[in-house]
Amino acid sequence: MEEFKKRLTHLHHCNGIGWKAIFHLLKADPELKNLYRCPPLQNVPNLTKNNFLDNINSITIHDYFHEYSLNDIHMITYFDKEYPSLLKETFQPPWVLYAKGNINLLNNGIKLAAVGSRQATSYGKNAIKALFPKLIEKEIILVSGLAAGIDTCVHQTAMRLGGHTIAVIAGGLYHIYPQENRNLALEMMKNQLILSEYPPNTRPSRWHFPARNRIISGMSSGTLIIEAKQKSGSLITANYAVQEGRDVFAIPGNIFSPFSEGTNELIQQGAKLVKSSGDILDELIY
């Protein structure tokens, strides 16, 4: 591993060093050559040189690198060729991604984010069964969040149809959530891909879930909302897609169903109504 990548990943493991702090450090020292001696902390609030050096020197990063290598975990920085090109175009893209599985999926093929309610109904599941075969036939890669409900159905259906899928998770790779999807995640780590912006031993926190949605939409050409309540986390993913100028698709639903309130509202706001896979393919491919 090149020295710069080591230094950036080491920095990424430090507690209290967020996206903006890394940005300022890179701006002042693009190769991080002074990271261990005299880091340029002038524009980084609430950090003194002594506190910073104590923090970074308390982490035995070489042990982590060795451990990740043994577990086939890839560390992909913003500056690596493997980093998803579309994700680079987004607001505050992760400085480091941790990946397990087929990393060729990151920059191969067209990606569609597909998300929905954790309480999937038969309507949502049937919509996935109807739409996905032609998407998989056209080699669309399905990106979701490994959550219960619709996300799980997205990953499982993509694999059952012989396609490819990527899961972006909250927390680190050693702490798969929800627990009932652990076996699904282990299966995906073989030929699909599990992705996180947090070091593998990071336990998922509440705020990680909405934050990871920006990666799901950010690495995808479009976002499909399959089912969503009015205040669903899936709508956060749709909002990120809108902010990045990406296509947003929504499946209309029963006006009496709370699980279609969010999707119907998105359509009112301008999302493309989806009745068939062609409605998606027309925007992504044709």
pLDDT tens, position by position, 11-38? 999 988 899 999 999 999 999 999 988 8
Question: What does each C-alpha distance from 139 to 14, 109, 158, 159, 164 come to in angstroms?
Answer: 39, 7, 10, 12, 8
Rounded CA gap, 86 and 111, in Å?
10
Rounded CA gap, 166 and 145, in Å?
8
- The strand pair at 96-101 and 74-77 is best described as antiparallel
pLDDT at 1: 65
Which pTM does this prediction carry? 0.96
Contact residues for 264 (Cβ-Cβ < 8 A; gap 6+): 250, 252, 253, 255
pLDDT in tens, 131-180: 999 999 999 999 999 999 999 999 999 999 999 999 999 999 999 999 99
Structure-block tokens of residue 280: 């998606």
Of residues 228 and 231, more confidently modeled: 228
* End-to-end CA separation in angstroms for the chain: 40
Helical pair 19-28 and 3-12, crossing angle rounded to 10 deg = 150
Contact residues for 52 (Cβ-Cβ < 8 A; gap 6+): 14, 39, 41
* 3-state secondary structure at position 135: helix
